[in-house]
Chain A
C-alpha cells in the first residue's frame, strides 16, 4: 500500500506531464506560461512529498524558494508578453524565430 508522500510523488509526476503537454502543445505564450505554473506546482508537490517521505524540512524550504522564483518568472515573463504584444501584435510562440540558428 502506498503512503501519502509516495502518492504525492506520483500525482506530481502526472501533473508535470500534463503541464509539459501544455507548454509543448499550446502555441499561445500566455497559456505556455500558465502551464509553466502547473510545472512549478508539480515540482512543489514533489518537494513537499519528498520532505514528508524523508522526514526532513528542507523540501519545504526549497518549495518556498521555488515560489519566489515563480513570482519573479511571472513578473518578468508577463512584462515580456506585454512588450511583445506591443511590438509584434502577436503572442504566438511560432511567430518568434529570432533564436533561429
Chain B
C-alpha cells in the first residue's frame, strides 16, 4: 500500500467523521470551524487526485471566502441558546437513518462497485487504468491549471460568462432581501 493511497484513506475517513461531528454541534461557530477542517481535508484529497487547481480553489474560495461569510452571519445573528436546541430525533428519522446505512452498505458491496465501473463504461468513457497514455496529457505535472483554464475559457466560455450573471443576481438579491424595511424612508429623511 503506497503512501498516497494510505493518506487518501485517512483523509477521507477523517472528512466523513468530521462531517458527522459538524452536524451534531450545538454551537454554530464550532460547527463552522469543523466544516473548515472538512474543507481543508477535501483540498488535500483533491491534491492527491492531481487536481491542484481544485485544491487551491477549495482552500481559497471555500474555506477562505464562503466560510468567512458564514461565520460573519453567525456572529451577526448572535443566536440565543434557546434558538439552538437540537430537538428530538423522531422514530421516522431513525428509520430514515437506517435506510441511509442500508444504501451505504449496498454501495460498498460488489454490486455497487460493479455499477460504478459499468456505469462509467456505459457512458463511453475510459477509466485511467485502461488508458494510461492519457494520464500524462491531462494530469501531467504542472499542467493542471493550464488544462482547467483551457477547458474553462474555451469549451465552457458561455457557461462561465453566465455564472457572472448568476453572481450578479445573487449580489442584488442578497442586498434586497436583507435590506431593512423602510430603509428608503430613513434615507429620505
Contacts and interface: CB of A to CB of B under 8 A. Distances in A.
Interface of B is mostly: helix
Nearest to B180: A86
B188 interface: no
Contact of A24 (B38, B48, B73, B96): B96
Contacts of B79: 30, 91
Given A17-B103, A76-B174, A79-B177, A45 B128 contact: no
A96 interface: no
Chain A interface: which size bin?
A: 35 or more
A95 B133 CA distance: 57
Contacts of B97: 21
Contact of B104 (A13, A34, A37, A69): A13
Contacts of B66: 37, 70-71, 74
Contacts of A21: 23, 97, 100
A64 B163 CA distance: 10
Interface in A44-101: 44-45, 48-58, 60-61, 63-65, 67-76, 78-83, 85-86, 90-92
Interface residues of B, number: 90
Given A76-B173, A81-B77, A52 B58 contact: no
Contact of A64 (B116, B148, B167): B148
Nearest to A82: B178
Given A55-B134, A57-B147, A76-B170, A24 B93 contact: yes
A69 B160 CA distance: 11
Interface of B: 4-5, 8-9, 12-13, 15-16, 19-20, 22-23, 25, 28, 31-32, 35, 38-39, 42, 45-46, 48-51, 53-54, 57-58, 61-62, 65-67, 69-70, 73-74, 76-77, 79, 83-84, 86-87, 89, 93, 96-97, 100, 103-104, 107-108, 113, 116, 120, 123, 125-129, 131, 134-135, 138-139, 144, 147-148, 150-152, 155-156, 159, 163, 166-167, 169-171, 173-175, 177-178, 180
